[in-house]
């Protein structure tokens, strides 16, 4: 599948501010089944420097540094990428628990940190593992289906993901809430999992588009496999991965601050995402 994405992020400040270093995560990751073609980044105001780097989780990023004051920070991104089915991203063969990661255990430790108190999550996930009979692949598929049952078609633009327990209590959530609940359900049974952010083809029914969130679980000998609880499916060529990390905060497209002098400052965020995929 060939993706063309145009993504505008624009911050408008009520008074001039001095921008600190901004970490920009917009460039898709290189991984099996995903090739990045054109990538163009335009920043207003023009930064003093903009260097390419990677964060601790292997995500591409740009470090933009500024001087002087501004009332606007605008990031315009154009990218083209091709995705293909990844034969290794399969979750059909039985894989009994507990899983053995051998020499990878230390590296995967950050992806096992609990996201919820066990007693608050157990009533939701324990019956799913009971149905799976300690088969990790069957459990992951069942977990994906169960979390998909909480899918809420509305839009919540502000705020981070809700806690897993709150999503279960509400029995509804947007994509980032469902991804975090899925991750918590993985880690509850010792399956490493991470938060993934990027773009999804969509069904053509929405004019406004946004970044999409899903989850990835790591299985011995197979690596990271994507699960999209919003759609109740495995992640395939209709997803374009940009960033993945143990927690959602580390996949934020724009990370940075500002300073100002004088009256209190307010900011307005404007986004416009256009995706063509086929």
Contact (Cβ atoms closer than 8 angstroms) between residue 36 and residue 27: yes
Contact (Cβ atoms closer than 8 angstroms) between residue 41 and residue 26: yes
Tell me the fold of 2-84+252-277. Answer: Immunoglobulin-like (2.60.40)
Q: Cβ atoms within 10 A of the Cβ of 225, count?
A: 20
197's CB contacts (< 8 A; 6+ apart) are 25, 211, 212, 213, 241, 242, 243, 244, 248, 251, 253
131's CB contacts (< 8 A; 6+ apart) are 138, 142
245: β partners: 195
Contact (Cβ atoms closer than 8 angstroms) between residue 176 and residue 196: no
Instruction: Tell me the C-alpha to C-alpha distance, in Å, between residue 45 and each of 40, 70, 177, 266, 269.
Output: 16, 7, 34, 19, 16
List of the chain residues with pLDDT < 70: 204-206
**What is residue 18's predicted lDDT score, i.e. its pLDDT?**
97
Same fold, 2-84+252-277 and 102-235: no
What is the residue-wise DSSP string for 68-122?
A: SEEEEEEEEEEEEEEE---TT----S--BSSP--GGGHHHHGGGGS-SS-HHHHH
Q: What sign results for the dihedral spanned by CA atoms 224, 54, 187, 165?
A: negative
Contact (Cβ atoms closer than 8 angstroms) between residue 246 and residue 195: yes
**What is residue 249's predicted lDDT score, i.e. its pLDDT?**
96
**What is residue 204's predicted lDDT score, i.e. its pLDDT?**
62
**What is residue 152's predicted lDDT score, i.e. its pLDDT?**
80
Q: Are strands 69-83 and 34-44 parallel, antiparallel or unpaired?
A: antiparallel
- Domain ranges for the chain: 2-84+252-277, 102-235
Report pTM.
0.95
**What is residue 37's predicted lDDT score, i.e. its pLDDT?**
94
Contact (Cβ atoms closer than 8 angstroms) between residue 144 and residue 229: yes
Length of the chain in residues, anyone? 278
Domain 102-235 has CATH 3.10.620.30: yes
**What is residue 207's predicted lDDT score, i.e. its pLDDT?**
72
- Label residue 15 exposed, middle or buried (CB < 10 Å: 0-12, 13-18, 19+): middle
**What is residue 38's predicted lDDT score, i.e. its pLDDT?**
95
Contact (Cβ atoms closer than 8 angstroms) between residue 38 and residue 77: no
**What is residue 88's predicted lDDT score, i.e. its pLDDT?**
75
**What is residue 208's predicted lDDT score, i.e. its pLDDT?**
82
**What is residue 237's predicted lDDT score, i.e. its pLDDT?**
95
**What is residue 153's predicted lDDT score, i.e. its pLDDT?**
73
């Amino acid at each position: 599948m060939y993706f063309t994405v145009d993504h505008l992020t624009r911050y408008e400040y009520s008074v001039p501010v001095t921008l600190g270093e901004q970490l920009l995560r917009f460039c898709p990751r290189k991984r099996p089944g995903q090739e990045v073609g054109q990538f163009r980044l335009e920043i207003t105001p023009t930064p003093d420097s903009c260097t390419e780097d990677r964060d601790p989780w292997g995500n591409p990023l740009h470090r933009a540094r500024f001087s002087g004051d501004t009332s606007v920070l605008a990031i315009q991104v154009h990218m083209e990428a091709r995705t293909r089915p990844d034969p290794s991203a399969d979750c059909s063969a039985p894989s009994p628990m507990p899983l053995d990661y051998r020499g990878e255990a230390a590296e995967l430790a950050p992806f096992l940190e609990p996201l919820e108190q066990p007693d608050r999550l157990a009533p939701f996930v324990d019956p799913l593992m009971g149905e799976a009979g300690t088969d990790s692949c069957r459990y992951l598929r069942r977990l994906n289906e169960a979390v998909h049952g909480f899918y809420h078609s509305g839009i919540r633009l502000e705020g981070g993901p809700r806690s897993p327990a709150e999503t279960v209590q509400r029995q509804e959530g947007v994509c980032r809430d469902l991804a975090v609940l899925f991750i918590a359900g993985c880690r509850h049974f010792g399956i490493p999992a991470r938060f993934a952010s990027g773009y999804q083809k969509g069904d053509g029914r929405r004019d406004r588009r946004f970044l999409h969130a899903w989850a990835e679980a790591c299985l011995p000998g197979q690596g990271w496999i994507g699960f999209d609880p919003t759609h109740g499916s495995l992640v395939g060529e209709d997803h374009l991965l940009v960033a993945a990390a143990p927690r959602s905060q580390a996949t934020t497209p724009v990370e940075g601050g500002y300073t100002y002098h004088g009256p209190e400052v307010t900011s307005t965020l404007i986004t416009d995402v256009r995706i063509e995929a086929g």
